[in-house]
Amino acid sequence: MLFRSTVLLDETQHLGRLVDDLRTVTLAEAGTLALHREPTDVGILVTEVAEGFQPQALAASVRLVADVSDDVPLLDVDPVRIREVLENLLANALRYAPAGSAIRLEARLAPGGRVTFLVADQGPGIDPALLPQIFDRFVKSDGSSGSGLGLAIARGIVEAHGGSIQAESDGSGTRIRFELAV
């Protein structure tokens, strides 16, 4: 009986997360996603996110490298939402990165007063036919255990901040970049 209760609780929590994800995507698409902006140190944010994923990376025998250039200024963003984007991208990268490979998480000051974030893995890459749709709701690769909402949420959050996000992929990995204004 205890096993059945545990399974039921797990499934209820999973359903709750799915509802929250659908709500976030819907609000972002409607342009009504609430942001709580504050001056945010990108170096601290990136470091904390990377440190949070180190145990998973070690368990998967994947090296996780975080690097923020010294010239990245404070950004006026919602740090909780940008953390959500970075966590989503890292979780995806870890899902597909083979043992012995590396994942890079970077932030750099780009021309035009923008900061570029990069999450790059050395996995098998995304099917070229699927690549143009990966930021759409419910789009996922074969064998994916996710809901197909994570990248749609990431796009919604980045665009709510006035930024842009794109992916490129080949047979030697996937690189997802997003840019935010300084």
Tens-place pLDDT, residues 4-15:
677 777 777 777
- Return the bridge partners of 66, or none: 105
For 11-28, what is the mean pLDDT?
78
Q: Please write the tens of the pLDDT for every residue from 136-163.
A: 988 877 767 677 888 999 999 999 999 9
H/E stretch holding 164 reads strand 164-170
Task: Return the amino acid letter for 42.
Answer: V
H/E stretch holding 2 reads helix 2-30
Token representation of residue 2: 């205890």
Q: Of the ranges 26-35, 53-62, 166-175, which one carries the lowest mean pLDDT score?
A: 26-35
- Return the bridge partners of 119, or none: 105, 176
